[in-house]
């Protein structure tokens, strides 16, 4: 089990089970929403996510049709995003998790939108579009 929270500590949550690989997104929407060169997302099943406190502190913004970015409206910490066409999955912001994580990044996505001022010095795959998980046999 993993726990996480926003910067002010008003929103707290837990996630059951192991975490999927981290997806590093460089699209312009994610860069603007995070105020950074990229965002680190972890897909989490809604059944594994449990909000412990702060439901009334959560705000959301529809950044594109059917895509909602959920954040603490007190401190501004982004918590997760969700899509109307994929209601069973949240894209949890890895930076809000507490403690050490076993999971690691799987690749850089929307690499063509990368901020020109940020240098990437790793060997992870660099993909021009969104992450597509491998098909399970």
Residue 124: inside a domain, yes or no? no
The helix (run of H) or strand (run of E) holding residue 59 is strand 58-64
Give the range of the structural domain holding residue 87, as residue numbers without chain letter.
2-113
Read off the CATH number of the domain in which 23 is found. 2.170.150.70
Q: How many domains does the chain have?
A: 1
Residue 20: inside a domain, yes or no? yes
Residue 86: inside a domain, yes or no? yes
pLDDT band for 129, please (50, 70, 90 cuts): confident
Give the model confidence (pLDDT) of 67-107 as tens digits.
999 999 999 999 999 999 999 999 999 999 999 999 999 99
Is residue 80 within 8 A of residue 40, CB to CB? The reply is: no
Give the model confidence (pLDDT) of 2-49 as tens digits.
999 999 999 999 999 999 999 999 988 889 898 999 999 999 999 999
What are the b/e assignments for 93-117, b being 16+ CB within 10 Å? Answer: bbebbeeeeeeebbbbbbbebbeee
Residue 123: inside a domain, yes or no? no
User: Residue 136: what pLDDT?
Assistant: 59
Residue 136: inside a domain, yes or no? no
In this prediction the pTM is 0.88
Residue 129: inside a domain, yes or no? no
User: Residue 75: what pLDDT?
Assistant: 97
Residue 43: inside a domain, yes or no? yes
């Amino acid at each position: 089990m993993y726990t996480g929270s926003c910067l002010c500590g008003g929103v707290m949550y837990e996630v059951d089970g192991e975490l999927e690989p981290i997806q590093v997104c460089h699209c312009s929407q994610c860069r603007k929403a995070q105020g950074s060169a990229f965002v680190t997302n972890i897909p989490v099943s809604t059944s594994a996510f449990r909000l412990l406190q702060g439901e009334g502190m959560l705000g959301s913004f529809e950044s594109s049709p059917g895509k909602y970015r959920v954040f603490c409206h007190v401190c501004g910490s982004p918590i997760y995003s969700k899509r109307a066409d994929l209601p069973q999955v949240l894209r949890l912001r890895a930076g809000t998790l507490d403690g050490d994580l076993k999971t690691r990044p799987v690749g850089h996505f929307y690499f063509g939108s990368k901020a020109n001022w940020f240098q990437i010095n790793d060997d992870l795959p660099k993909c021009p579009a969104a992450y597509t998980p491998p098909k399970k046999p």
